[in-house]
Amino acid sequence: MSSTDKYWPYLTSEGFLRRAFHLVQRDALRDFEDPLNERAQVQAAQARFFAAKRLQTRDRKITRLTAMASAYLIGLTALPYFLHLPEKVEDYVNLVALITAVIVLVSSLLQYSRLDVVSAEQHHRCGLEINELLRKSAGPGRHDYYNITNTYNEILQKYSINHDDIDFWSVTIDRPEEYPWLTGWTKFYRTVAVLKDRYGPDFVLGGVTILLVGFILFYVLPNQSLQTSKEMQLSINFG
């Protein structure tokens, strides 16, 4: 797609004509100063490294979520054996245990289907090879631009997996001086998306933990104590 086609929406409005001409000039100057498109290669390498770190962190957090939810499930299953619970309360405990089991199942399937560890390794290796290519192209002496471009394309084809948009957003947030064109709303939206992806499993684990603690402290234990006091009162009356 040519620069004219790219900025045609600007050309249809008379008020944006000057802005469109400036953008076309800027892209043309960038292509002249950067024939190898090293800026795109640097961005790709940075995004690959961010993707590797993000996937490794997400896999570790989902593993922790699955492990803790499994422990909660075992505790809920054993709870009726240690407390004298009314039948209604025990039914609710079994229902909460079922919900916890679903959480364990979903987190396990997500972790198995995503293969984050394998993808993180591919992203990391791809970033290393792109960085190596950048070091060679930035060295002294003459360079075969055609060969370097082909090598870059071969690297991308070798590691067919691509990073997500959120990885590039992480790059723009981490290096705001390189992306001064980002507006405040765009920065806010991307920051929220990055934080959501980064702390999503922690939020789920924290929510499940708080709900289970509240369920046991404010519902199970009070009803268990009430049942125990009734049994004691009956034994005293019959005694």
Region 79-98: mean pLDDT is 90
Contact predicate 5/21, CB 8 Å: no
CA distances from 112 to 15, 44, 150, 189 (A): 53, 27, 35, 29
Q: What is the chain's Cα-based Rg?
A: 29
Site of tokens 């070798």? 158
Say yes or no to pLDDT of 5 above 70: no
Which amino acid, 83? L
Closest by CA position to 40, among listed 134, 129, 121: 134
pLDDT tens digit sequence for 145-168: 778 788 888 888 888 788 888 888
pLDDT bin (cut points 50, 70, 90) of residue 25 is very low
Output 179 or 125, whichever has higher pLDDT: 125
Contact predicate 38/134, CB 8 Å: yes
Dist. CA 75–CA 73, nearest whole Å? 5
Region 190-203: mean pLDDT is 92
Contact predicate 126/155, CB 8 Å: yes
Where exactly are the structural domains of the chain? 1-33, 37-230
What is the pLDDT at residue 213? 95
Task: Supply φ then ψ for residue 207, to 5 degrees.
Answer: -65, -45
Please tell me the number of Cα atoms within 13 Å of 128 on its side-chain side: 7
Contact predicate 201/65, CB 8 Å: yes
User: What are the contacts of 8-16 at 24+ separation with CB within 8 A?
Assistant: none
pLDDT bin (cut points 50, 70, 90) of residue 226 is low
CA 106 centroid distance within chain:
16
Say yes or no to pLDDT of 117 above 80: yes
**Among 81-95, 115-129, 172-186, 222-236, where is mean pLDDT lowest?**
222-236
Site of tokens 């082909």? 150
SS3 content of the chain, % helix, strand, coil (to 5): 85, 0, 15
